[in-house]
C-alpha cells in the first residue's frame, strides 16, 4: 500500500531537487560530465578537457550561489566554460574561439561520438608546410618542450618560437577554411 505522498509506480531518479542544489558536491556531480564532454568536443584531448573542466568549476565556485535554480547554475557553468575555453585558445593559438552552443542539452554518450578532432588535426597538419607541421607535431603531439623541439629540428630556440607561432596562425586559418 502506498502513502498519499508517494506516486504510484516507480519514481524517476533525480540526484538534485528541481529547484536547486543542496551543496557544491551536488552541483559538481550533476554537471561535471556534460562540462567535460562539451570541452572535450572543443579541444579534442582528455588532458586539456580535464584541466579546463577543473578550471570551470574553480572559476564558478566563488560567484555561483547555491540558491540558484538548476537552470541558472547550468547557464552560469556554460558561460564560465565559454570564458575558460576562450582563454585556453587565446593562450594556445593567440586568438579566441568561443563557440559553445546554447542549445546543448545532453552530449553524446562516448568521447568518440563527440569528437572529430583527430580527423580535423590530421587534415590541418597535412595542409601545412613540412617545417610548420614538424614543429606542431613535436610540441603538441609529442609533448616536447620548445628547447627539445628546436634541438630536434636543428634550429635555435628563438627560431622554433617564431616557427611555432607562424604554424599555429596558419593552422588556425586552415581550420577556419581560409586556406587549404
DSSP 54-96: HHHHHHHHTT--TTS-HHHHHHHHHHHHHHHHHHHHHHHHSS-
Report the pLDDT averaged over residues 158-180.
79
Claim to verify: residue 31 and residue 89 sit in the same structural domain? yes
The 10s digit of each residue's pLDDT in 45-78 is 788 889 999 999 998 888 888 888 888 899 999 9
Residue 156 lies in a domain: yes
Residue 18 lies in a domain: no
- Domains held by the chain: number: 2
Q: How far apart are the first and last CA of the chain?
A: 70
Determine the Cα–Cα distance for residues 86 and 103; give it in Å rounded to an integer. 19
Evaluate if residue 168 carries a pLDDT over 80.
yes
**For residue 108, what pLDDT is reported?**
45
**For residue 45, what pLDDT is reported?**
79
Higher pLDDT, 15 or 120: 120
Give the end of a domain, one of 42, 77, 93.
93
**What residue numbers bound the domain in which 88 lies?**
24-93
Q: Which of 78-87, 125-134, 171-180 has the lowest mean pLDDT?
A: 171-180
**For residue 173, what pLDDT is reported?**
83
Residue 33 lies in a domain: yes
Report the pLDDT averaged over residues 90-118.
54
The mean pLDDT value of the chain amounts to 77
**For residue 156, what pLDDT is reported?**
93
The 10s digit of each residue's pLDDT in 127-138 is 999 999 999 888
**For residue 179, what pLDDT is reported?**
42
Report the pLDDT averaged over residues 74-89.
88
Claim to verify: residue 50 and residue 88 sit in the same structural domain? yes
Give the end of a domain, one of 93, 125, 147.
93
Amino acid at each position: 500500500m502506498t502513502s498519499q505522498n508517494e506516486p504510484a509506480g516507480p519514481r524517476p531518479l533525480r540526484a538534485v531537487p528541481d529547484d536547486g542544489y543542496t551543496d557544491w558536491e551536488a552541483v559538481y556531480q550533476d554537471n561535471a560530465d556534460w562540462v567535460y564532454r562539451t570541452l572535450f568536443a572543443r579541444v579534442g584531448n582528455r588532458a586539456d578537457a580535464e584541466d579546463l573542466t577543473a578550471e570551470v568549476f574553480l572559476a564558478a565556485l566563488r560567484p555561483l550561489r547555491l540558491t540558484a535554480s538548476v537552470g541558472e547554475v547550468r547557464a552560469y557553468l556554460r558561460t564560465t566554460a565559454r570564458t575558460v575555453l576562450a582563454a585556453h585558445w587565446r593562450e594556445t593559438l593567440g586568438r579566441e574561439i568561443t563557440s559553445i552552443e546554447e542549445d546543448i542539452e545532453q552530449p553524446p554518450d562516448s568521447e568518440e561520438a563527440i569528437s572529430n578532432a583527430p580527423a580535423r588535426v590530421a587534415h590541418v597538419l597535412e595542409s601545412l608546410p613540412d617545417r610548420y607541421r614538424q614543429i606542431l607535431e613535436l610540441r603538441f603531439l609529442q609533448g616536447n618542450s620548445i628547447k627539445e623541439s628546436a634541438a630536434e629540428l636543428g634550429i635555435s630556440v628563438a627560431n622554433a618560437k617564431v616557427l611555432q607561432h607562424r604554424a599555429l596562425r596558419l593552422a588556425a586559418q586552415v581550420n577556419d577554411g581560409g586556406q587549404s
